[in-house]
């Protein structure tokens, strides 16, 4: 059975990374071929494994009481004994979730590999780049497959470093160095929490194996307080890695890296690791209301704030970055209420957001700038990019029947079902978020593709190596959502049962499909689209519509109200007030805090070193020496050179001793 071979899935990229670093330079295609072949092989394996899990999980009927029954394959070898009865195990934990991640990671990674052949063509460190890509894929897959929290931590840190190295890929430039540092250190800050959590869980349950930990937790062997402590600590890690409020500020800066990297790491895979981790330990989180509540609140705040920020970006990648943060917010919030909702959104989002980034890359490649002012009218020059980008945007805007629609709907529904303050909060903000999403994506579409080309240079369609991956992902963006159709016609809710860790749980927590609710969401989305359309339709050159005489005049008049609304609400309220306000808080406050923390540590270090170490401790040590010499200078004066003084001293000594002696002696 193929799942037994799952260990090959991370192994293959690892080998390819090693090969690229060792012999890549000497190969005709400078190592790219190794990476692509390896990822292709990985993808095949991943699909095979996924298929097996599918066969095992989907469509089996289970009685509500029985529970269990989900596919789970655990294999482990002891990597090292740590203490009396605890060890770290190198092993694999293959279940629906893992299989799903395999497919996602492998596919996106393969696409990015192919895309990069064109995008990075002619770069000085081409081979190094592909080596890092493979290394990253390995690390990510290791994180996914790990059956042991320590090994998972290994993967977790490795992806962090790969991200650090890839963001700082062009390390000559200062701001890029800073961006990579900021990314690594901010996530590392979260990792402090994760490490504590791992240690705590291991300490509480006496094992680092995820299986054992979950069993122990479900059996209630872990005190509730300790569990909550560990989970909250872990959420800190999640917040860092998945760029949640308030640790999200690193992700936009991370856009300094090559665009394909943004697509792979900062959209589809690494940033979703947080969500994955929560899903991995879902039974544990399910035990602690405090933890899930925290998740919900954080997710809600993130999705709305990030969405607002996306409104005021002129850099296309920045827009996508903020939208990623906001979508991650949806995932985290969704996980708070329903396992499936979060995981499903993670899945679909991976595809279409990767697509959007690749599209953005293609645009930048063509226009030679990230800024949308320098674009415009690109539809004519690069049709494929346009269409794929459009599909991706629709998926993100969550227009039925595109992928995003199904998953986001799932989140909102589960939030509503769950109810309670958090539920309502997530539901409400999620709805508004939908509107905002639609607004900014439409804005991007108009600014980039509509109207005349405003930039310099000769825009052109990207080479096949870049368009092909976009097409593939576009297909996914359209169709991938259907794997979880709520209708009984085909295999209903296949995805849900596919990724489920415990079918019994699935029976207890069915997610209904509310047509009305879906409709409302769609309407909101469309409202956003309309608002944006109303504003950006005419930007910036004169719209031919104006020259239709009375008709246009009437239209103009008819649009007074419209303009009023849009002016007042959309432009003024949303874009000019809330957006900047959010932006300011972000840059000034949060970012200030993060940077300030760094500077503060530095300053503290300096002060500590100068006064504490060099003056204090050092002073004590040297002081002893100095005082010894000082006393030496004094004492030697007794040696006056005059023999009679010597004799005197001698007799004084005798007398003193004699007295002491005669008195103390008896």
Nearer to other proteins, 568 or 659 (CB): 659
- Closest approach of other proteins to the CB of residue 184, in Å: 6
- Closest approach of other proteins to the CB of residue 240, in Å: 10
Nearer to other proteins, 224 or 610 (CB): 610
302 phi/psi in degrees, rounded to 5? -60, -50
**SS3 at position 148:** strand
Angle at 270 between CA 269 and CA 275, to 5 degrees: 85
Nearer to other proteins, 548 or 656 (CB): 656
Show the binding pattern over residues 157-176: x = contacts other proteins (CB under 8 A), - = does not: xx--x--x---x--xx-x--
Sign of CA dihedral 421, 424, 429, 433: positive
Nearer to other proteins, 165 or 312 (CB): 165
- Closest approach of other proteins to the CB of residue 130, in Å: 16
The structure tokens listed for 552 are 């246009």
How many Cβ atoms sit within 10 Å of the Cβ of residue 601? Answer: 11
Q: How far is CA 324 from CA 117, 201, 327, 341, 343, in A?
A: 25, 30, 5, 17, 15
Nearer to other proteins, 154 or 517 (CB): 154
Which of these segments, 63-71, 181-189, 266-274, 509-517, binds other proteins (CB under 8 A)? 181-189
State yes or no: residue 59 binds other proteins (CB under 8 A): no
For 342, the enclosing helix (H) or strand (E) is: helix 339-367
Nearer to other proteins, 198 or 333 (CB): 198
- 173 near 181, Cβ under 8 Å? no
Q: How far apart are CA 524 and CA 537, in angstroms?
A: 19
- Closest approach of other proteins to the CB of residue 15, in Å: 14
For 257, the enclosing helix (H) or strand (E) is: none
- Closest approach of other proteins to the CB of residue 35, in Å: 20
Show the binding pattern over residues 124-143: x = contacts other proteins (CB under 8 A), - = does not: --------------------
Which of these segments, 91-99, 155-163, 261-269, 285-293, binds other proteins (CB under 8 A)? 155-163
- Closest approach of other proteins to the CB of residue 493, in Å: 37
Q: How far is CA 286 from CA 223, 244, 279, 349, in A?
A: 14, 20, 10, 24
> Which residues inside 75-94 make contact with other proteins, applying CB under 8 A?
78-84, 86, 88
The structure tokens listed for 360 are 């953005």
- 406 near 337, Cβ under 8 Å? no
Number of residues that bind other proteins (CB under 8 A): 84
- Closest approach of other proteins to the CB of residue 642, in Å: 5
**Helix locations, 450-484, DSSP H:** 464-479
Nearer to other proteins, 126 or 389 (CB): 126
- Closest approach of other proteins to the CB of residue 666, in Å: 4
State yes or no: residue 390 binds other proteins (CB under 8 A): no
> Which residues inside 575-634 make contact with other proteins, applying CB under 8 A?
598, 601-602, 604-606, 608-610, 612-613, 617-618, 621, 625, 628-629, 631-633
Q: How far apart are CA 609 and CA 512, in angstroms?
A: 61
Nearest to 329 by CA among 353, 291, 290, 300: 300
- Closest approach of other proteins to the CB of residue 325, in Å: 22
State yes or no: residue 185 binds other proteins (CB under 8 A): yes
State yes or no: residue 154 binds other proteins (CB under 8 A): yes
Nearer to other proteins, 83 or 122 (CB): 83
Show the binding pattern over residues 190-229: x = contacts other proteins (CB under 8 A), - = does not: -xx--xx-xxx-xx--------------------------
**SS3 at position 78:** strand
State yes or no: residue 19 binds other proteins (CB under 8 A): no
The structure tokens listed for 177 are 């160095």
Sign of CA dihedral 187, 188, 190, 194: positive
Nearer to other proteins, 421 or 651 (CB): 651
Nearer to other proteins, 203 or 510 (CB): 203
**SS3 at position 141:** helix
**SS3 at position 379:** helix
Q: How far is CA 538 from CA 373, 441, 447, 521, 639, in A?
A: 14, 16, 10, 27, 102
Judged by CB under 8 A, the residue of 184, 339, 440, 501 near other proteins is 184
> Which residues inside 633-652 make contact with other proteins, applying CB under 8 A?
633, 635-652
Nearer to other proteins, 168 or 257 (CB): 168
Nearer to other proteins, 90 or 341 (CB): 90
- Closest approach of other proteins to the CB of residue 161, in Å: 6
322 phi/psi in degrees, rounded to 5? -60, -40
- Closest approach of other proteins to the CB of residue 178, in Å: 8
- 486 near 414, Cβ under 8 Å? no
Nearest to 12 by CA among 164, 140, 117, 169: 140
- Closest approach of other proteins to the CB of residue 289, in Å: 23
């Amino acid at each position: 059975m193929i799942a037994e071979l799952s260990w090959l899935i991370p192994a293959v990229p690892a080998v390819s990374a090693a090969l690229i670093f060792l012999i890549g330079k000497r190969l005709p295609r400078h190592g790219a071929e190794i990476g692509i072949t390896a990822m292709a092989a990985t993808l095949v394996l991943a699909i095979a494994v996924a298929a097996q899990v599918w066969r095992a999980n989907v469509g089996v009927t289970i009685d509500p009481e029985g529970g269990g029954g989900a596919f789970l394959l655990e294999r482990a070898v002891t990597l090292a004994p740590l203490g009396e009865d605890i060890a770290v195990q190198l092993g694999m934990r293959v279940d629906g979730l893992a299989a799903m991640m395999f497919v996602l990671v492998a596919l996106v990674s393969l696409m990015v590999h192919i895309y990069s052949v064109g995008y990075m063509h002619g770069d000085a460190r081409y081979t190094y780049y592909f080596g890092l890509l493979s290394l990253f894929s390995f690390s990510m897959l290791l994180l996914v497959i790990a059956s042991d929290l320590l090994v998972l931590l290994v993967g977790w840190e490795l992806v962090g470093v790969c991200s650090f190295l890839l963001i700082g890929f062009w390390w000559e430039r200062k701001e890029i160095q800073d961006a990579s540092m900021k990314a690594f250190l901010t996530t590392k800050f979260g990792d402090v929490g994760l490490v504590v959590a791992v240690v705590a869980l291991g300490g509480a349950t006496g094992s680092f194996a995820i299986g054992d930990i979950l069993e122990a937790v479900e059996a209630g062997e872990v005190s509730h307080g300790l569990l909550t402590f560990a989970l909250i600590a872990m959420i800190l890690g999640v917040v860092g890695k998945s760029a949640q409020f308030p640790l999200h500020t690193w992700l936009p800066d991370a856009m300094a890296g090559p665009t394909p990297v943004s697509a792979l790491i900062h959209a589809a895979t690494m940033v979703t690791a947080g969500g994955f981790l929560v899903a991995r330990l879902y039974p544990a989180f399910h035990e602690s209301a405090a933890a899930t509540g925290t998740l919900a609140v954080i997710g809600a705040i993130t999705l709305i704030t990030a969405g607002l920020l996306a409104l005021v970006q002129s850099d296309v990648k920045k827009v996508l970055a903020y939208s990623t943060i906001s979508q991650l917010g949806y995932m985290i919030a969704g996980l708070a209420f329903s396992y499936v909702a979060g995981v499903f959104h993670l899945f679909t989002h991976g595809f279409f957001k990767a697509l959007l980034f690749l599209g953005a890359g293609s645009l930048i490649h063509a226009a030679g700038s990230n800024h949308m002012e320098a674009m415009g009218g690109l539809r004519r020059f690069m049709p494929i990019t346009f269409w794929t980008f459009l599909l991706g945007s629709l998926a993100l805007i969550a227009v039925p029947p595109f992928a995003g629609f199904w998953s986001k709907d799932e989140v909102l529904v589960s939030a509503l079902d769950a109810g309670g303050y958090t539920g309502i909060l997530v539901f409400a903000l999620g709805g508004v978020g939908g509107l905002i999403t639609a607004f900014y994506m439409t804005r991007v579409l108009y600014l980039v593709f509509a109207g005349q080309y405003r930039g310099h240079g000769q825009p052109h369609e990207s080479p096949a190596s870049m368009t092909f991956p976009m097409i593939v992902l576009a297909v996914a963006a359209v169709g991938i959502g259907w794997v979880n159709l709520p209708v009984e016609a085909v295999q209903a809710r296949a995805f849900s049962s596919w990724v489920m860790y415990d079918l019994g749980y699935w029976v207890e927590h069915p997610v209904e499909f509310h047509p009305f609710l879906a409709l409302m969401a769609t309407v909101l989305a469309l409202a956003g689209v309309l608002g944006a359309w109303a504003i950006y339709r005419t930007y910036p050159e004169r719209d031919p519509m104006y020259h239709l005489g009375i008709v246009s005049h009437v239209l103009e008049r008819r649009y007074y109200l419209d303009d009023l609304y849009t002016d007042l609400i959309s432009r003024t309220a949303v874009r000019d007030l809330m957006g900047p306000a959010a932006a300011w808080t972000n840059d000034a406050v949060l970012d200030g805090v993060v940077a300030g923390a760094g500077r503060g540590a530095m300053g503290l270090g300096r002060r500590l070193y100068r006064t504490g170490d060099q003056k204090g401790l050092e002073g004590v040590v040297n002081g002893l020496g100095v005082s010894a010499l000082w006393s030496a200078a004094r004492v030697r004066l007794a040696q006056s050179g005059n023999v009679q003084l010597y004799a005197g001293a001698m007799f004084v000594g005798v007398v003193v001793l004699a007295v002491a002696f005669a008195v103390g002696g008896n």
